[in-house]
Chain A
Amino acid sequence: MRVGLGMILLGAALIALSATAQTPTAPSGTDSAQPPAEPPGAPPPAAASPAPPSPTPPSPTPPSVTVLGSQEVQGILGREIRSTADENMGRIVDVLVDGEGRTRAAIIDFGGFLGVGSRKIAIDWKALHFVPAAGKKYGIVLELTRDQVKTAPEVKDGKPTIVLGASGNLESLP
């Protein structure tokens, strides 16, 4: 399931964050456009450094175990997203990853009232910021406003996904 993979990667990304200073090695070099308002900043999604997924050796070595505190990592499916202007941007319903397992986009269910008029749109993973708000709650902030998101086309099965980038422009995922 691609969502599960997305969440694990998010967890991995957050570990990298708490361990800090692991220089964001750069398969995605476009992180410079982050607003300074976000204290932790968005870690690059390719922070799979803690446990290199080597092909399982035949020897019966026990698998390594990592303990993640409930403060450190969170599931994101169904989680509400706010914009930088603190508008409600809907909920994450799915996460898209590419062939290497890198998270590329989040699908959010946006707009509507009592379920009428909402639609699913894809936003660039890099436009999302995961903010461990002080205390127990954990916020996801989208670096776009409702005004920028409102024209995004709906995600449909069997069609190329149009992803809304952090600067508000549309790009097409193959």
Chain B
Amino acid sequence: MAEPACALPHPSRRSLRGLDWFIFLVADLQTGFGPFVAVYLTSEKWTQVEIGLVLSVAGLVALVGQMPGGALVDAARSERTVAAVAVTLIAAAALTYALWPVFPAVLAAATMHAAASCVLGPAIAAISLGLVGHSAIGERFGRNARFASLGAGLSAAVMGGVGYFFSTSAVFFVTAALLGPALFVLRRMAWQEIDPERAHGNMPEHHIHEPPIDVRSLLTRRPLLIFGGCILLFHLANAAMLPLMGSVLTTRSSEWATVLIAACMVGPQFVVAASSPWIGRQAQKWGRRPLLIAGFAALPVRGLLFATVTDPYLLVAVQLLDGLTAAVFAVMVPLTVADLTRDTGRFNLTQGIIGTMMGVGAALSPTLAGYISDHAGSATAFLGLAAIGVVGFAAVWLAMPETRPAANGAEDARPGTD
């Protein structure tokens, strides 16, 4: 299928389904990591100092690796191969955790996992863009968010059960075993249909084989900087809310606390799964701004409700708002980045830049919330997070331009720069 440069891409059904399932399985693969690593290492007689060291190193790599990871995907000619290598490394890391929980091995595995995750995220978005092109990417990112959250929600439930009924290490064996199906569905995607030029943010119907733009000129684009700042504020306000709420829940409810926290983690995922394709379509119809504003508005509301509501069951209902915000951001972040990097050849590097902002916000958030909560109580901490959310909301409202290209498709598509 040698595609003429001016035609819009027509990916096969098989490739699109392959991408759906690949995203689903990657979300499954990633669930067993995160905070669960600390639980597992504790059960393996690790001291808190060692666990803290491993988690800090992994967190640092995950932050610093974002931009090189994106640049790597931009440089790659086969996004599919990059994704295959990344999932293989992640599965290998899971297996290392399960089989060989000694300090050097786990440190290496955690570093490897963090680095591979930095590549895998952009690679999936790049494959999506390479398959469907800019004209249909809104809906595609909506679908991506649906399958990612279905995977994360289901596997959190399944792995929670596995960890409870079998052993904590069983979770990592399940994770590693998912590599087989993930590579299988990745192979089912036709590589000829993933256009590397499109995957890097170029639009072959406009220009053919231009070199990617200068990184410095990318970094001086105002909408990109504003968007990055908003994303940082969002994660600064958002990242600590669930853990803080979880620890509040465990102090209020005894026998149901575990189940309620599980519901708080799984419930929003299903909200995302239900709403994200719709959000992707509306983003093409209404534009990006109204949805971004709505997603940001839900965040301070959630903070306020967490600060005032005390009934544990109502807290779970409030947490469903997280699903709404998460759906908006899961679609809007890659979509806005795709808008802002049209014809630049730097789609994935820019994802890395935004990912770094995300990581900085998310890393500072628990420290900030923990500090406020130690000194002034958890209600004040929720109010503080809500206040940051309000600042982010105002920033989007006042400063963030609409990034949807003027006409939907062929004729003019100025990137939102000046």
> Which residues of A are at the interface with B, using a C-beta cutoff of 8 A?
1, 3, 75, 77-78, 80, 87, 91, 93-94, 109-120, 145-147, 149-151, 154, 156
Q: Is the CB of B261 within 8 A of A117?
A: yes
Count contacts between A and B, CB distance < 8 Å: 95
Contacts of B45 in A (CB 8 A): 75, 77-78
> Given A114-B160, A117-B246, 14 other A-B contacts at CB below 8 A?
A1-B47, A78-B44, A93-B48, A111-B258, A112-B39, A113-B261, A116-B246, A117-B243, A119-B247, A146-B257, A149-B254, A150-B250, A150-B254, A154-B247
Give the complex CA separation of A78 and B82 in angstroms.
Answer: 38
Contacts of A119 in B (CB 8 A): 247, 250
Contacts of B156 in A (CB 8 A): 114
Q: Is the CB of A150 within 8 A of B257?
A: yes
Q: Is the CB of B34 within 8 A of A115?
A: yes
Q: Is the CB of A117 within 8 A of B44?
A: no
| Minimum CB distance partner of B245 in chain A | A117
Give the complex CA separation of A3 and B42 in angstroms.
Answer: 13
Give the complex CA separation of A93 and B48 in angstroms.
Answer: 7
Give the complex CA separation of A145 and B39 in angstroms.
Answer: 21
Contacts of A109 in B (CB 8 A): 39, 42
Does B292 interact with chain A (Cβ within 8 Å)? Answer: no
Contacts of A1 in B (CB 8 A): 47
Contacts of B245 in A (CB 8 A): 117
| Minimum CB distance partner of A1 in chain B | B47
| Closest chain A CB from B10 CB (angstroms) | 41
Contact of A77 among B47, B247, B250, B258 (CB under 8 A): B47
Give the complex CA separation of A32 and B34 in angstroms.
Answer: 44
State whether A146 and B255 are in contact (beta carbons under 8 Å apart), knowing that A3-B47, A116-B265 are contacts in the complex: yes
Q: Is the CB of B163 within 8 A of A114?
A: yes
What is the size, in residues, of chain B's interface with A at 8 Å between Cβ atoms? 37
Contact of A117 among B42, B160, B250, B254 (CB under 8 A): B250
Q: Is the CB of A116 within 8 A of B243?
A: yes
Does B43 interact with chain A (Cβ within 8 Å)? Answer: yes
| Minimum CB distance partner of A149 in chain B | B254
Contacts of B42 in A (CB 8 A): 78, 91, 93, 109
Does B310 interact with chain A (Cβ within 8 Å)? Answer: no
Contact of B250 among A80, A91, A110 (CB under 8 A): A110
| Minimum CB distance partner of A85 in chain B | B255
> Which residues of B are at the interface with A, using a C-beta cutoff of 8 A?
31, 34-39, 42-48, 156, 159-160, 163, 242-243, 245-247, 249-255, 257-259, 261-262, 265, 374
| Closest chain B CB from A134 CB (angstroms) | 22
Contact of A114 among B36, B247, B255, B257 (CB under 8 A): B36
| Minimum CB distance partner of A92 in chain B | B42
Give the complex CA separation of A119 and B35 in angstroms.
Answer: 12
Q: Is the CB of A94 within 8 A of B250?
A: no
Contacts A/B (CB < 8 Å), 19 sampled: A1-B47, A78-B42, A78-B43, A78-B44, A78-B45, A80-B43, A113-B246, A114-B31, A114-B34, A114-B156, A115-B34, A115-B37, A116-B246, A116-B261, A117-B257, A119-B247, A119-B250, A151-B251, A156-B374
| Closest chain B CB from A88 CB (angstroms) | 8
- Which 9 pairs, one residue from A and one from B, show the smallest C-beta to C-beta distance? A117-B246, A115-B35, A111-B250, A146-B254, A78-B45, A113-B261, A147-B254, A117-B261, A115-B36
Q: Is the CB of B250 within 8 A of A145?
A: no
| Minimum CB distance partner of A3 in chain B | B47
Give the complex CA separation of A78 and B39 in angstroms.
Answer: 9
Contact of B262 among A77, A78, A113 (CB under 8 A): A113
Q: Is the CB of B39 within 8 A of A118?
A: yes
| Closest chain A CB from B39 CB (angstroms) | 5
| Minimum CB distance partner of B252 in chain A | A150
Contact of B43 among A91, A118, A149 (CB under 8 A): A91
| Closest chain B CB from A97 CB (angstroms) | 15
Q: Is the CB of B48 within 8 A of A112?
A: no
Q: Is the CB of A115 within 8 A of B39?
A: yes
Q: Is the CB of A112 within 8 A of B250?
A: yes
Max count, chain A CB within 10 A of own CB: residue among B31, B34, B38, B246: B246
Contact of B242 among A77, A110, A116, A149 (CB under 8 A): A116
Contacts of A110 in B (CB 8 A): 250
Give the complex CA separation of A120 and B39 in angstroms.
Answer: 12
| Closest chain A CB from B274 CB (angstroms) | 22
Give the complex CA separation of A119 and B265 in angstroms.
Answer: 17
| Minimum CB distance partner of A145 in chain B | B254
Q: Is the CB of B159 within 8 A of A114?
A: yes
| Minimum CB distance partner of B41 in chain A | A78
Give the complex CA separation of A80 and B42 in angstroms.
Answer: 10
Give the complex CA separation of A146 and B258 in angstroms.
Answer: 11
Max count, chain A CB within 10 A of own CB: residue among B35, B42, B246: B42
Q: Is the CB of B247 within 8 A of A117?
A: yes
State whether A150 and B251 are in contact (beta carbons under 8 Å apart), knowing that A91-B42, A115-B38 are contacts in the complex: yes
| Closest chain B CB from A135 CB (angstroms) | 18
| Closest chain A CB from B373 CB (angstroms) | 10
| Minimum CB distance partner of A151 in chain B | B251
| Closest chain B CB from A130 CB (angstroms) | 17
| Closest chain B CB from A93 CB (angstroms) | 5
Contacts of B246 in A (CB 8 A): 112-113, 116-118
Q: Is the CB of A87 within 8 A of B48?
A: no
Max count, chain A CB within 10 A of own CB: residue among B31, B160, B258: B258
| Closest chain A CB from B362 CB (angstroms) | 14
